[in-house]
Structure 1
């Protein structure tokens, strides 16, 4: 998860969904006349922040700050994407918030990050505290995703149970939830957010080859699988995908080509302080 170059080249799904989210929901953001400060939580390699998010910002915004828990991602983002109005900092959104960042931003956005957080209330409380009075947020993260079920199945096998013993640490808190929208809304209103709107969006994505899936999985794989075992891990991973019928033949499979299709749900949240 700290290989910024791999993530940058293998996060087409994340980029597509971030773009679609902004296309549909950016209008919920209430821009000031000038001088807006924006924080992008979980910026990763910085490419979504600079190549996608910036397209939806007003021309007279003041500053955009990307933050990520990974020092390697932040280093890469600063090397590739920082400039006079854009910078990237290390921040654990689940941890203690630096005093200097409190009430510093007019808008907080986040794409494909908050499902990694186990202590959801801590993260959402920090997002609240990052915002100035009247500030707002637009957040998108995974609800239900079949990849989590693949990991859970691998964790039950003799070969992988040791390496995936903490599997549920990396499963979205809402993967098994029957009513995630109500759950999130209650939590955010308890923290103090107003105008809370939570939508569950069903989506799907098709990888054009098994190799593309392997690269995408490796880019976000949270488990410390030994390098010499990783190719076996991925073969077992693909075998489960095949058993779960995610792999589809293309053109009657005459040339051996396949597609890998995932259907999943995203949670899109907007709210105001």
Structure 2
């Protein structure tokens, strides 16, 4: 999950859903002059600058991307930094720098929060990052077949050692019966207002097994030996085949389709700590 170039080439699903979400919520985001914006879990920076940046007004003050991965941030700064855009290493579930608290008018996150087990800590930190009246728009996975594949492989003799911590990398909402209720209750407890939580059924088709393998490799969270990775991906495809997610499997590679049906969670909330009279 630290190969920035591979991720940049293989995150078509993530980019599509980020764009769709921003299009849906652009009228709700209350943009003002000279605002500061943060993208949490920015990865290689391509979504930050290639998608999110286009929705910002021209007179924004600063856009900061943060990520826990040094390699991702190095790549993002090399490729995407400018006078008004920069990227920093930060763990959103860790201790926040004091100079980041209460600073941001808008906080965004696309396809990051499902990797984090400490959900309440993370949402509290997002609340702390926001200035009074600031809002957040967060997009992350609920139920997703990739997590079921991880679990199946973790039970196999071949991969159980390398995937022994598999539960660390399963979305906290993968097995949830009512993620909307869970998240809304947590956010209201923290102090967010105007909370909106939507869990929607989505689908995506990978055109060919190679496209699927690249996407899986780009977000692979397990510390597998490099010389085992190809075999791991082959076993991954075998499980996907057993789950009957592959169409035209007997035809040439160019006609093979891999169907992915998943639940996408979209969250909006406002930091309002003072009463409006």
- TM category (shorter chain) comes to over 0.9
> After superposition, what is the alpha-carbon deviation per residue over 1:25-46, rounded to whole angstroms, capped at 9, x for unaligned?
22221112x1110000000000
Matches within 5 A, 1:76-87: 76-87=75-86
User: Does the CA contact (< 8 Å) of 2:106 and 2:136 recur in 1?
Assistant: yes
Q: Structure 1 157/102 Cα, relative in aligned 2: closer, same or farther at 3 Å?
A: same
State the partner residue of 1:248. 247
Specify the alignment match of 1:13 in structure 2: 13
* Aligned position for 2:67: 68
Alignment of 1:24-173 (within 5 A): 24-32=24-32, 34-173=33-172
Q: CA deviation at 1:255?
A: 7.0
Contact 2:208 2:254 in 1 (8 A): no
1:98 to 1:263, Cα distance in 2 relative to 1, 3 A: same
Determine the C-alpha separation between the residues in 2 that align with 1:178 and 1:187. Answer: 16
**Cα distance in 2 between the residues matched to 1:35 and 1:255:** 50
Equivalences for residues 208-223 of structure 1 within 5 A: 208-223=207-222
Q: Give distance in 2, aligned partners of 1:74 and 1:157.
A: 34
Q: Tell me, which stretches of 5 or more residues in structure 2 are unaligned?
A: 272-277
Q: TM-score, normalised by structure 1?
A: 0.97
| Rounded Cα–Cα distance in structure 1 between residues aligned with 2:240 and 2:177 | 24
Alignment check: 8 A CA contact 1:249 1:256 kept: no
Question: Aligned with 1:28: secondary structure?
Answer: coil
- Alignment partner, residue 201 of structure 2: 202
* Kept after mapping to 1: 8 A contact 2:184/2:196: yes
Verify the 8 A CA contact 1:28 1:270 in the aligned structure 2. Answer: no
Unaligned runs of 5+ in 1: none
SS in 1 for 2:177: coil
Aligned residue for 1:260?
258
Partner Cα distance (2:75, 2:109) in 1: 19
**Cα distance, 1:257 vs. partner?**
3.0
Deviations 1:95-144 (A, max 9, x none): 00110100010000000000011000010000000000110000000011
Q: After TM superposition, give the deviation of residue 253 of structure 1 in Å.
A: 2.6
Change (3 A) 1:254 1:67: closer
Pick from 264, 270, 273 the counterpart of residue 272 of structure 1: 270
Alignment correspondent of 1:180: 179
Q: Tell me what 1:2 maps to.
A: 2
Give CA deviations for 1:41-74 in whole Å, capped at 9, x if unaligned. Answer: 0000000000100111112111100000001101
Moved more, 21-30 or 141-150: 21-30
Measure the CA separation in 2 of the matches of 1:8 and 1:182. 33
* Matches of 1:27 and 1:116, distance apart in 2: 29
1:174-210, Cα deviation, whole Å (9 max, x unpaired): 0000000000001011111111100012111111110
Native 8 Å contact 1:22 1:56 kept in 2: yes
How has the CA–CA distance of structure 1 residues 254 and 61 changed in structure 2, closer, same or farther, with 3 Å as cutoff? Answer: closer
